Amino acid sequence: MERTRVAIIELVRDGQELRGDLVLYECRSSEDLKRYLATYDHSRPDVLRRIFIVEWSEGGPIIGDAQPNTLRHVLETELQVPSDVFSEHASQGVGSLFEPQELDIINPYLISTCAPERRFSIGFFDLWEYIGETEALQTPCPETHRMFVPGDAGLTLMCGFTERQLQFHKWKARKGWLVIAPRKCSYWSRWVGEEEGTDVVMVFDPTVNTAVPKLPVGTPKSSKPISLNPRQPFLGGYQQVLPREVSVQGRLSDVTRNILNMTPAEVAGNSAHPPRPVNNPPETNTVEENEISPAAFQIAVQNGSAFEMTNADKKLKKKKGKQTELLVEPEEEVEEETEEKRLKKIEDLKQTILAGLKKPVSPRTSLFDDVRYYFARHTNSLGSLLGQNMVPHFPHVGSSGAALIPLKVMAGHYCLLHAFVSFQTAAMRSTGWKLKEDTTQQLEESKQVEESWSRFRCTEYLECLEALMDTLGIPLYGLGSCAPMETTPLLRRSGTGLTTGTIRESSPEPRWRAAVTPDFTYLHRQFTMRRHDYDRITTSIAALTGIVTGRSAVMEAVSARSLTSVALFFAPLAWITALYSVPEDLGPGGPLFWVYWVTAVPFMGVVWLAIKAWERRQDRRKKGTGERRGVIDDSIV
């Protein structure tokens, strides 16, 4: 079953420049996207950038061509997106159950043939905390009626949307399961028209909502999905991915249009004459509490007053839960104020802005929602991130600069994953490995250390991060970029169709890559250090196990020696009795019992002497062999 969401962002040209307007269209199905593309005028010179943010999943690997009236079919036919973009995005990788029919081996490309500025497909991990009851995660076995819980041998939980294996970690004593869901982001772009126009398509996986249990081979499979609600972002979600000074330098006043509720004529009309929300702001807008519009902030700073604003910035706050609805008030005159009051109001405005910065702003619900949020509110911040001047137009949001926002968000997800891996290693270091497991608490601590050690998957995360860096051409150890020069012909779309344009060469270090290189190299270094910590812990555990095993061996040897002494004491006596068939008068209680002792004791002494002589002979032979070996080695040297 196909799951789709599409957000279309248009960056509009005004004369000879791109103006600071952003038009956001919402498509809930492939039909909505088809209607938009059908009514879009290909010859329009005002739209220079189109960014398609797509959330898509077909519930597993792709087999065969796209079916008609599906999102994949629309993108392949209307935008000429290659079909292998979707097949590579939907790949699962090798699962834990090594079954030939379920293997999904990815055939990699040569690094010299890749063009990361135009296309890539990379993976990351989404972290959620399941806060429901553990009983809701149990899966019954149809044959044995045994209840499996996440982490039990033989049970694998797969994502209900992508069919990729989920990771469950019990990281709290009572409630609290950490769900780590592998996710993918695919990126494709092309040049459009004779000018610097571009079409960008970003494909993201949906957020994980359900888990499908997968029992051992030969067991009837349970098709009942497990709901992962209630849940919340792990540790509240990733931290702010944009610098704080960049985040408040202004945002676009976006206009959201839902294609589902518009007729084709309305879609065409809105595309032909896109609104200018900066000059004509909507009468009602919804933003977070303590958020100040950039126009109001700039006017306040320029005029020295926090209340000398335009009609669009005079608002009435009406609280609704965690949000505030802003309503336009009639324009009214501002009374004259003293300099002291003016300075106080400026300081109050500054504190309000700083208070708003401390709050997380992006939804943290899915990569689709987060990327859409950052494009809608911080598109004009890309210039400073890419090392360009802050201008009200967007020449930097091209075929490669648009990838900066999703890459930043994915780096935030990797930071969150690194926080959990660091927690694992710190817990193993602080708890240690108990030599004596006498009390219940010590047994529980040792069990937790063993479980954390067995579920430590930092190597898998590091491999995924290294694959991401190789795909983007980011050097792993500061040896220079491994990204190839772009030498493939570029497709352009003109009024008559697709044509082959001139060859463009990418710079050795594009600005978008330079903006994310420090983040991913830092993450690679941190994950490498955590893996080294794990290796040291493993070595320490192995050494400690050897010490404990050696001590047990010594104790067992002492016990065996005692048993041997007892056996050597009684064995000759019993052997003599059985050999000579001692009669009753020589046995215990008989008149000639002393004869038995006179015969047996010397014989027992002879046996002891024979054993000791044999042991000494063996020791001399070993010593002589070692001396001869040393002489031979000296002669060779």
Instruction: Specify whether the CB–CB gap between 350 and 356 falls below 8 A.
Output: no
Query: 117 versus 40: which is more confidently predicted?
Result: 117
Say whether pLDDT at 576 is over 50.
yes
Q: Exposure string (b/e) for 597-623, b if CB count within 10 Å is 16 or more?
A: eeebeeebeeeeeeeeeeeeeeeeeee
**Helix, strand, or coil here: 525?**
helix
Length of the chain: 637
* Average pLDDT score over residue span 587-608: 77
What pLDDT is recorded for position 181?
A: 92
What is the pLDDT confidence band of residue 493, given thresholds at 50, 70 and 90?
Answer: very low
Q: Which two tokens stand for residue 319?
A: 């609280």
**Helix, strand, or coil here: 571?**
helix
Instruction: Specify whether the CB–CB gap between 528 and 462 falls below 8 A.
Output: yes
For 502-580, where are the E strands, in sequence order? none
Q: Residue holding tokens 């492939």?
A: 30
**Helix, strand, or coil here: 564?**
helix
What pLDDT is recorded for position 522?
A: 92
Query: 471 versus 192: which is more confidently predicted?
Result: 471
pLDDT digits (tens, 9 = 90+) for 404-418: 889 999 999 999 999
What is the pLDDT confidence band of residue 394, given thresholds at 50, 70 and 90?
Answer: very low
* Average pLDDT score over residue span 135-142: 78
Q: Which two tokens stand for residue 260?
A: 């589902």
* Average pLDDT score over residue span 391-404: 57
What is the pLDDT confidence band of residue 382, given thresholds at 50, 70 and 90?
Answer: low
Q: Shortest CA distance to 30 belongs to which of 66, 84, 83, 82?
A: 66
**Helix, strand, or coil here: 179?**
strand
Q: Which two tokens stand for residue 630?
A: 């040393």
Query: 281 versus 530: which is more confidently predicted?
Result: 530
Say whether pLDDT at 166 is over 60.
yes
What is the pLDDT confidence band of residue 358, given thresholds at 50, 70 and 90?
Answer: very low
What pLDDT is recorded for position 417?
A: 94
- The one-letter code for the residue type at 376 is A
Q: Which two tokens stand for residue 552?
A: 């047990």
Local structure of residue 401 (DSSP, 8 states): G
* Average pLDDT score over residue span 310-327: 35
Local structure of residue 281 (DSSP, 8 states): -
How many CB atoms sit inside 10 A of residue 160's CB?
A: 21
pLDDT digits (tens, 9 = 90+) for 252-299: 433 444 443 444 445 444 444 343 333 333 333 333 333 333 333 332
Residue 88: partners with Cβ closer than 8 Å, 6 or more residues away: 106, 121, 186
Q: Shortest CA distance to 161 belongs to which of 5, 52, 318, 2?
A: 2
What φ, ψ does residue 384 adopt, rounded to 5°? Answer: -70, -35
Say which range, 133-142, 309-318, 374-383, has the weakest mean pLDDT. 309-318
What is the pLDDT confidence band of residue 486, given thresholds at 50, 70 and 90?
Answer: very low
230 cis-preceded (ω within 30 degrees of 0)? yes
Say whether pLDDT at 25 is over 50.
yes
Query: 554 versus 85: which is more confidently predicted?
Result: 85
Gap between the Cα atoms of 386 and 383, Å rounded: 5
Query: 80 versus 437: which is more confidently predicted?
Result: 80
What pLDDT is recorded for position 246?
A: 60
What pLDDT is recorded for position 553?
A: 83
What pLDDT is recorded for position 481?
A: 47
* Average pLDDT score over residue span 84-106: 66
Instruction: Specify whether the CB–CB gap between 126 and 208 falls below 8 A.
Output: yes
* C-alpha 167 chain-centroid distance: 11
Q: Shortest CA distance to 58 belongs to which of 42, 75, 78, 35?
A: 75
Say whether pLDDT at 532 is over 70.
yes
How many CB atoms sit inside 10 A of residue 18's CB?
A: 21
